[in-house]
Structure 1
Amino acid sequence: MDSSNKRGFTLVELLVTIAVAAVLISVVVPSFTGLIESSKERATRDALVASINAAKQQAQSKRINVYICPTTDGSSCSGTWGSDWLIYEDTDGSATLDASLGDLIISNNTSKTSHIASLVSQIAFSPTGHSTINTFQVCSNTDDSVVYEIELSRMGRISYAAAAGGC
């Protein structure tokens, strides 16, 4: 057999290829992790915005006060804003959640890679769709930085933008 007809990789070529692949993977993986975290932070922002819109629509369509509040147990308003919240109707005018009256509409649970921060204990929507003025921050759990800032106007209009700083 003629040795010039043999094809394949030499050991040196294989080791060089593996080394180049390892360098590329070490560069790509950290940025891919950042992309995944960014996607989850956007999902948290979008979930809060969707909940605000749903509460406003519910208040206007049923002509009743509707609230959004933070929760730690998924069934009562408690704790501070994190990644879980409730939407409830105020059927008896008490401005508190009464599950026995069927007030609870939605219990929301979002990604644990980000959380919501706000100084208010709840968002209130009147039957006209007006709300209390609020500012929320979507914060990263990895470095506790503010990723998005969500503003809710008195008229119930939502605006949000990328933000910087700490939570």
Structure 2
Amino acid sequence: MNQPSTATPHAMRGLTLLEATMVMAIGLILGAITLPHMLKLTEKQRAISSANLLVSHIALARNHAVTQRRVATLCPSSDGTSCRADNNWSLGWLVMDSAPNPAATARSARILMTAQLPANTRVHIYSNKGRTRLRYLPDGRSTGANTSFRICTSGAMSSKIVVSNGGRVRSEATPVGTSCH
């Protein structure tokens, strides 16, 4: 009865330093190729998520205006308690019940919902110049002219949200490379 020895050279074989180095080099090359694409994909998903959040809060404001028969206002906010005076919605916004005073501030109105976007995100949201608020009347119409929100990543517009005077919200895809400003 001859039994093979467990100490044969074939049983003790493992990876050589050269083989391990080659596996690591291939892994690093694949990582270097895929990392920029993964970062771009993550940025795109954050832009889509931010746009969807804004659309849902616009719908909430309109729904509140119609069901409560009161004016509802959306405005950019960096702290969730007061409105900003510019058209940069990148840090967040708030939805407030501002009836009956159209000039109501967040301090004098009941805040219905807030959204704060992460400060380290590369997603930027801008409304039309001079449009620092979006107001819905009790009949569901938006005041003023059509409003549009530009969703931007890396300086280029990724999508656009348009609110008509009738209150309808729609999203538009934008051509690749469209400037955000």
TM over 0.5: yes
1:106 aligns with 2:113: yes
Stretches of structure 2 lacking an aligned partner (at least 5 in a row): 1-6
Which of 121, 124, 127 aligns to 2:135? It is: 124
| Distance in 2 (alpha carbons) for counterparts of 1:56 and 1:94 | 15
| Distance in 2 (alpha carbons) for counterparts of 1:4 and 1:74 | 68
Which residue of structure 2 aligns with residue 87 of structure 1?
95
Size of the aligned set, in residue pairs, is 164
Which of 25, 35, 40 aligns to 2:46? It is: 40
Which of 65, 73, 79 aligns to 1:73? It is: 79
Which residue of structure 1 aligns with residue 3 of structure 2?
none
Which residue of structure 1 aligns with residue 149 of structure 2?
136
| Distance in 1 (alpha carbons) for counterparts of 2:40 and 2:99 | 44
1:150 aligns with 2:161: yes
Cα distance change on mapping 1:43 and 1:111 into 2, 3 Å: farther
CA drift of 1:89 comes to 1.2
The SS at the match of 2:135 is: strand
CA drift of 1:98 comes to 5.0
| Distance in 2 (alpha carbons) for counterparts of 1:46 and 1:36 | 15
The SS at the match of 1:44 is: helix
Contact 2:89-2:127 at 8 Å conserved across structures: no
1:115 aligns with 2:90: no
Cα distance change on mapping 1:121 and 1:98 into 2, 3 Å: closer
| Distance in 2 (alpha carbons) for counterparts of 1:50 and 1:58 | 12
Q: Percent identity?
A: 26
Length-normalised TM-score, structure 2: 0.82
| Distance in 1 (alpha carbons) for counterparts of 2:106 and 2:160 | 31
Structure whose residues are more often helix by fraction? 1
Length-normalised TM-score, structure 1: 0.88
1:52 aligns with 2:58: yes
Which residue of structure 2 aligns with residue 61 of structure 1?
67
Contact 1:131-1:153 at 8 Å conserved across structures: yes
Stretches of structure 1 lacking an aligned partner (at least 5 in a row): none
Q: Which has the larger radius of gyration?
A: 2
Q: Which amino acid aligns with 1:92?
A: P
Give the superposed CA RMSD.
Answer: 1.7
